[in-house]
């Protein structure tokens, strides 16, 4: 099956919400372009890669990985659903890129919906893409929203026969794809942690309004990350609890490891959310402390000039008989007295540690 023609993706219309169950309609960001397809067939001694969907018989003992990059071509999805004998509800979920991560068991396959995440450190943005992974008797089918993924390491391991992937069946490939996505969660979470550390230093040293905006944006980012990862823990748990002839019991052990990673990432995200909440409190405290310092200086300066203003007020009164007015050096005495008061008050404030 060759690459399909150029087709424009459009968001799901309001009317499509009321369509019958199983009606396939694309839901997601507007996309246009060719849908790229790829097939990798292998076993312990054989490897072949095709730049299209290369269908094989169900009796084939080789592992077949079919990868489709782009789910906006509804005609192609419907055809693939027929070719791979996929349930129409499953195909509908593949076309809906707003799905919650989940695992569903069908008579002839297992469907895993998962979010593939990458973090843009320059823009401080989270790039999220839905990946649908279907496990069948002799094949694994992956559906991605767009070109580009985190599976290059798996492709390289298959091509060079590195590790145990070539000597394992399709259920191990199914696990390896899920594990690769989860591993990249750690990279994103680690980068976000570094951003939090830098933001903490910025708020502590020189907080401004932009710092508070960064805290708010980080709150939304962590919430989006939590929505993508938190349901995955339940999904992996379902794979562990429900037995299926498609997954060898020996492979279940690997899913235990993936489940532990999900818990670790979830706990890290929760701790980051608490840290981010603490950064907001730190910002408010820093701004309040800075304002208190400013008010302290202004209050001290006002306190110093209060007695000087008192003296100037006395000698500024419109009276004829003021004893000091007849002093020849009265003006100099006034400034000496004012300077002395200033020095005495300044020394007193420093002694009291108000400065």
Give pTM, 2 decimals: 0.77
Q: Which residues of 52-71 are buried (b: 16+ CB within 10 A; e: fewer)?
A: ebbeeeeeeebbbbbbbbbb
For the record, the structure tokens of 272 come out as: 């980051």
pLDDT per residue of the chain (355 residues) written in tens, 0 to 9 = 444 434 444 444 444 555 666 578 888 887 777 899 999 999 998 999 999 888 877 667 899 999 999 998 899 999 999 999 999 899 999 999 988 999 999 989 999 999 999 888 888 888 899 999 999 988 999 999 988 889 999 999 999 999 899 999 999 999 999 999 999 999 999 999 999 999 888 888 888 888 888 888 888 899 988 988 889 999 999 999 888 889 999 999 899 999 999 999 999 999 999 998 888 888 887 777 777 777 877 787 788 888 888 877 877 776 666 776 677 777 787 788 888 888 888 888 778 776 6
For the record, the structure tokens of 174 come out as: 């199914």
Which residues have C-beta within 8 Å of that of residue 206, sequence separation ≥ 6? none
């Amino acid at each position: 099956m060759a690459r399909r023609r150029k087709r424009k993706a459009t968001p799901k219309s309001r009317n499509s919400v009321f369509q019958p169950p199983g009606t396939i309609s694309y839901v997601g960001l507007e996309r246009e372009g060719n849908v790229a397809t790829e097939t990798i067939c292998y076993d312990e001694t054989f490897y072949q890669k095709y730049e299209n969907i290369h269908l094989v018989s169900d009796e084939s003992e080789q592992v077949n990985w079919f990868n489709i990059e782009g789910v906006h071509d509804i005609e192609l999805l419907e055809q693939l659903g027929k070719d791979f004998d996929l349930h129409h509800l499953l195909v509908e979920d593949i076309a809906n890129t707003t799905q919650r991560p989940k695992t569903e068991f069908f008579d002839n396959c297992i469907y895993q919906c998962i979010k593939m995440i990458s973090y843009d450190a320059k823009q401080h943005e989270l790039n999220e893409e839905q990946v649908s992974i279907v496990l069948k008797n002799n094949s694994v089918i992956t559906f991605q929203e767009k070109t580009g993924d985190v599976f290059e390491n798996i492709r390289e391991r298959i091509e060079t026969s590195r590790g145990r992937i070539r000597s394992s069946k399709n259920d191990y490939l199914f696990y390896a794809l899920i594990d690769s996505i989860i591993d990249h969660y750690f990279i994103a979470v680690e980068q976000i942690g570094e951003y939090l550390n830098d933001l903490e230093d910025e708020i502590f040293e020189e907080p401004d309004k932009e710092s508070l905006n960064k805290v708010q944006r980080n709150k939304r980012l962590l919430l989006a990350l939590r929505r993508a990862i938190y349901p995955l823990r339940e999904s992996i748990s379902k794979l562990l609890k429900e037995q299926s002839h498609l997954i060898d019991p020996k492979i279940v052990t690997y899913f235990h490891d993936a489940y532990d990673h999900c818990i670790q990432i979830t706990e890290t995200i929760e701790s980051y959310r608490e840290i981010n909440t603490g950064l907001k409190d730190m910002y408010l405290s820093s701004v309040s402390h800075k304002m208190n310092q400013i008010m302290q200086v202004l209050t001290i300066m006002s306190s110093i000039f209060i007695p000087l203003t008192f003296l100037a007020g006395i000698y500024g009164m419109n009276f004829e008989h003021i004893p000091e007015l007849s002093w020849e050096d009265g003006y100099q005495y006034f400034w000496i007295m004012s300077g002395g008061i200033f020095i005495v008050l300044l020394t007193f404030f420093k002694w009291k540690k108000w400065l």
